[in-house]
Amino acid sequence: MTVITAEGTGEILDELRRYLDEDPPAISLPPRAYTSPELWELERERIFGRSWMLVAHAGQLAETGDYVALSIAGEAVVVTRGADGTLSAMSPICRHRLMPLVELGAGRTDSFTCPYHRWNYGLDGRLRGAPHMGGNKDFNVKNCRLPGFAVEEWNGLVYVNLDAAAEPIGAHLDLAAPDFVNYRLGDLVQVITVAEEWQANWKLALENGSENYHVIGLHRNTLEPFLPGGGDPHIKQYSPWVLHARTPFAAPIEPEALDLSELEKAHGMALLSFPTGGFLAMGDQVVWLSFIPLSIDRVQVVGGVLMPPELVASVDPEALARAQQTITAMVNNEDKVGLEAVQRGVTSRFAERGHLSPKEPGVIVFYQNLARALTREGDAWPGKL
């Protein structure tokens, strides 16, 4: 196992620790935090090697053989639905001579056959057959399988952790569950799936997703009229993993299918799960997104729009999907264009840290989680409740 030291990241880590002070500074990260290769290596080890990542909705993995393949900070991962209904997450790298078994994306298959020499693996990662290997006395098909990762489903959301021995995340998410009972998360169906790639450091995407202030700029013609960026957010942190944020609508909305409280009718209700995932419930719909890094300056944006089944059944499903696709693509593109520009900004030789608005408390909480995760060596983070 490679041991990564914090060498070269000392100054950034010192600055990060200051966010854990009783009175944290309301300033953005040092610009080098978005471009330092040393910090990126540390993030790969201390965050992405041991954190729960929101990767899919169960609706994408409904049938036997459905799979989703992605990269978690450069580490290939495939999540499958087996014939017995269980989810498996594993490393889709062939055990023969390390050919990736599957491209990034999604699909349905009954097994994975390596294109190189046709070794064949089951949906649970077990090797089922390997041609012309009978003469190698050290090799036994039965002892060969793809390395497994931890996988957990919570209210239809599928989380993966590269640390197979990680403490479960469900208990952490359950702390916020009472805030979302009326949204019936477990019943919702995914009407569209989001899969994009943005040219930006993952932390820029997460900062952006942790505040609604940018709606006055990037989304001024789309979201601003109903979820104004000047609204005062109310946040509640349940655990280092889980933050609940409530943002006021311009005017209360009347859901068609869900039975919401007056507070819920008047607010967008978000749950953010560090490091990269979250969802925003707005009346009858829940939009989930996860910003999973591919590399230091590229991020996979995966997500979906969820709605109550009775609402979906009452309309033309294709028209509904088209309408959702149009608005989601428009809003996501506004963020993409904005963040790709910020990515150019952070590389300026004249870039400096900036002051944050009181409308951005979620950004400071994100920095605090980042500080906790990056400055903790060795042991699992954040561990048991």
**Chain residues in the site for Fe ion (CB under 5 A):** 335
Residue 71 belongs to what H/E stretch?
Answer: strand 66-72
Residue 116 partner contact from Fe ion, ligand FES, none using kind-dependent CB cut-offs of 5 to 8 Å? ligand FES
Does 117 participate in binding ligand FES (rule CB under 6 A)?
yes
Cβ-based nearer residue to ligand FES, 97 or 353: 97
Residue 97 partner contact from ligand FES, Fe ion, none using kind-dependent CB cut-offs of 5 to 8 Å? ligand FES
Cβ-based nearer residue to Fe ion, 207 or 335: 335
Shortest CA distance to 88 belongs to which of 167, 145, 45?
145
Does 96 participate in binding ligand FES (rule CB under 6 A)?
yes
Shortest CA distance to 72 belongs to which of 243, 168, 202, 190?
202
Region binding ligand FES by CB under 6 A among candidate stretches 19-27, 49-57, 111-119, 153-161:
111-119
Contact 116, 103 (CB under 8 A): no
# chain residues binding ligand FES, by CB under 6 A: 8
Give the span between the Cα atoms of 84 and 273, in whole angstroms.
29
Query: What sections of the chain are H helices per DSSP?
Result: 10-17, 37-43, 170-174, 202-209, 262-265, 309-313, 317-346, 361-375
* Single-letter amino acid, residue 196: E
Residue 145 partner contact from Fe ion, ligand FES, none using kind-dependent CB cut-offs of 5 to 8 Å? none
Cβ-based nearer residue to Fe ion, 167 or 211: 211
Shortest distance, CB of residue 81 to ligand FES, whole angstroms? 23
Does 102 participate in binding ligand FES (rule CB under 6 A)?
no
Contact 32, 25 (CB under 8 A): no
Residue 56, phi then psi, degrees to nearest 5: -165, 170
Does 301 participate in binding ligand FES (rule CB under 6 A)?
no
Cβ-based nearer residue to ligand FES, 94 or 271: 94
Does 116 participate in binding ligand FES (rule CB under 6 A)?
yes
Contact 79, 61 (CB under 8 A): yes
Rounded alpha-carbon distances, angstroms, from residue 216 to 226, 230, 271: 11, 7, 21
Shortest distance, CB of residue 6 to Fe ion, whole angstroms? 32
Interface residues with ligand FES (CB under 6 A) are 94, 96-97, 99, 114, 116-117, 119
